[in-house]
Amino acid sequence: MSRTSKIYACFISVIGITLGSYCVYQYFHTVFSYSDPKAELRQFGVLLLLYLICRCLPIYIRKDYAIDMSFICNLASILCKGPFASAAMVIIATPFVIVPTNSKDRAYDHFFNKPPIKTAFNAGNFTIAVFLAAVAYQKCGGDIKNISQPQNFIPAIVSIVTFFLLNCAILMFLFHLDKQVPFFSALFKNLYQFFPNILASAPIAYFLAKSMEIKNGEFLVILITLPLLLARYSFVLYLDVKQNFYNMLKTLTAALEAKDKYTEGHSHRVEDYAEMISRKLHCSLSEQDNIKVAALLHDVGKIGIDDEILNKPGPLTPEERKVIMTHPLISEAILENVKLNKKVRSAIRHHHERYDGGGYPDGTKRDEIGMEAYIIGVADAFDAMTSDRAYCASMPIERVARILQEESGKQFHPKAVSAFLEVLRERGYLQTGGQE
C-alpha cells in the first residue's frame, strides 16, 4: 500500500473502531432498561450468530472475489434494533470471523493471520456504513418498534442506499489512492453490478426483523435461515460444476497444444492477458468469465489445419494463408453443439477482426462486434509476438508495446491497447511515463 492509502486506511479504522466501541458501550448500557432485557439479549445474540455464520461462509465467485449474505443480518438489525446494536454487532463479530480461502498458502483467513490494517479497515468500513444507515433509517421516519408500518418503506430504501453507497465509496476510495483506480467509474460499476442483488435480498431481512416482534421470535428466525443455508449450498454446487467445466476446457486446450512446442501454453497465456485487460476495463464478472472461456477456446479450430502449414518455418503462400484464416470458422463449427454464451461464440469467431475492418473472417469493424473479441485480439497478438514461433523469434516487450501503440485504432481497439499497456506498466514491464 502507498503511504497515502495507509494513512486513509488508518483514519477509517480509527473512526470506525472508535464508533463501534462507543456503540457497544451504549447498547449494553441501555439494554437493561428494556422491559424484557433477557429477550432483547437473546434476539441480539441470534442476529449476532447469524451475522457471524454469514461472514464465515462466503461464496467464492472467483479465486480472489467472494460474497456473503451478512447484509441481510445488517439490514434486519437496522430495521428492528437501531444504530447502536447494529454497529455493535459488527465490532463484536470481527475477531471471530474465520473465512475459508482458495489460497494454497493457508486454508483460512482469520483475525490472527491477516494484516492488522486490513482487518481494522474492513471493520471500520462496515461499522461506519451500518451505523449511518441505521441513523438514516430513523431520521427519515423509520420506526424500529413497529416495522410493518407502510411509512417505513421509504426510510428502509434510504437506509439500504446509504449502507451500500458508503460501504462501496469508502472501499473504492482506498483503491483509488492505492492503485489509481478511477473512483467514480469503479463506484458506479459496483453499484450497477451489485445493488440489484442487495435490493432483492432486502425482503428476507424484513422477515427476519418482523419475526423479532413476535414473542420468542428469535427461534423463528433460526428456522427461516435454514432454507437460506440450503440455497447457499445449492449455489456453491452450481459454482463447483461451473469451475469443473472451466477446468475441463483448460485441460482440453492444454492437450491440443501439447503436440507443438511453439504453441504450448498459448491459450492459457492469452486467457491471463485477456483477464488482465478485462479487469482494467472494469468489465463485469460475467463478462470476464465469457472472455476467459473464449480466450481458452479461440484457437481450437487449428486442430483442423494441416501441421505442415501451422509449423511452416517460412512465409505462407496466399493459398496457405487462406487455409489458416479458416480456423475461427472451424472453431465455431467444432463448438456448435456446446452450450456457450453468444458473446463467447462471437469472440471466438471474430478474434482476428481488425478495428479498421481489414480482418477476417467477416471484415467487421469498430462497434460491429463486441469488446470481447478485441480484447482477445490484443492478448493473442501480444503472446504471438513475445513467444518463439517456427517462423520467427520472440520480440522484446518494449518493441511489442510500440507495435500495439502504433496499431491502436487500426488493427486493435484503442481501449483494449490502452488498458493492456497500463497493466504492463503497473507490473513493471514498461517504464512509467516512458514511450511504449
The three cell numbers of residue 279 are 479487469
Backbone φ and ψ for 406, nearest 5 degrees, come out as -65, -35
Q: Residue 433 is which amino acid?
A: G
Tell me which of 67 and 412 has the higher pLDDT.
412
C-alpha distance from residue 432 to each of 272, 328, 359, 421, 428 (Å): 22, 36, 32, 10, 8
DSSP for 222-235, written as a single string: HHHHHHHHHHHHHH
Residue 302: is its pLDDT beyond 90? no
Residue 436: is its pLDDT beyond 50? no
CA–CA separation, 344 vs 356, rounded Å?
22
Provide mean pLDDT across the span 5-19: 96
pLDDT at site 167: 94
Q: What is the pLDDT of residues 121-179, one digit of tens each?
A: 999 999 999 999 999 999 999 998 888 888 999 999 999 999 999 999 999 999 999 88
Residue 105: is its pLDDT beyond 80? no
Q: What is the pLDDT of residues 337-369, one digit of tens each?
A: 888 889 999 999 999 999 999 999 999 989 899
Q: How confident is the model at residue 81 (pLDDT cuts 50, 70, 90)?
A: very high
pTM of the model: 0.71
Q: How confident is the model at residue 434 (pLDDT cuts 50, 70, 90)?
A: very low
Residue 326: is its pLDDT beyond 70? yes
Provide mean pLDDT across the span 404-424: 94
Task: Give the burial class of 129: count Cβ atoms within 10 A of its Cβ; 0-12 exposed, 13-18 middle, 19 or more buried.
Answer: buried
Q: What are the structural domains of the chain?
A: 3-238 (1.10.1760.20), 258-426 (1.10.3210.10)
